[in-house]
C-alpha cells in the first residue's frame, strides 16, 4: 500500500467515507429524478395510477435502505 506523504491513514479513510456518502446520495437523487421526470413515473397523467404508487413506494424503500447503509457506515 503506497502512502502519500503527510496523510494520516485515518484522515484518508474519513475522506473516502465522506465522498462515498455524498456520491451515493447524489446517485439516488439523480436516479429518482430521472425516473420521475424523464420517464414520467412521478405523474399520474401518462401512466396508470398504480405505476405512480409503485414508483413512490420504491423511492421510499430505497431511501430507507440508503439511510440504513449510511448509518451503518458512520456508526
1 lies in some domain: no
Cβ partners under 8 Å of residue 73, min gap 6? 17, 20, 21
| pLDDT tens readout for residues 1-49 | 565 677 788 998 999 999 999 999 999 999 999 999 999 999 888 788 9
What is the value of pTM for the model shown? 0.84
The domain total for the chain is: 1
32 lies in some domain: yes
| 63-72 exposure pattern, b = at least 16 Cβ within 10 A, e = fewer | eeebeeeeee
Domain of residue 46 covers 24-74
2 lies in some domain: no
3 lies in some domain: no
4 lies in some domain: no
43 lies in some domain: yes
69 lies in some domain: yes
Amino acid at each position: 500500500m503506497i502512502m502519500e506523504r503527510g496523510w494520516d491513514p485515518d484522515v484518508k479513510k474519513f475522506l473516502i467515507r465522506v465522498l462515498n456518502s455524498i456520491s451515493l446520495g447524489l446517485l439516488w437523487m439523480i436516479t429518482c429524478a430521472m425516473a420521475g421526470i424523464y420517464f414520467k413515473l412521478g405523474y399520474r397523467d401518462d401512466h396508470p395510477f398504480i405505476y405512480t404508487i409503485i414508483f413512490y413506494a420504491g423511492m421510499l424503500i430505497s431511501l430507507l435502505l440508503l439511510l440504513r447503509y449510511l448509518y451503518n457506515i458512520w456508526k
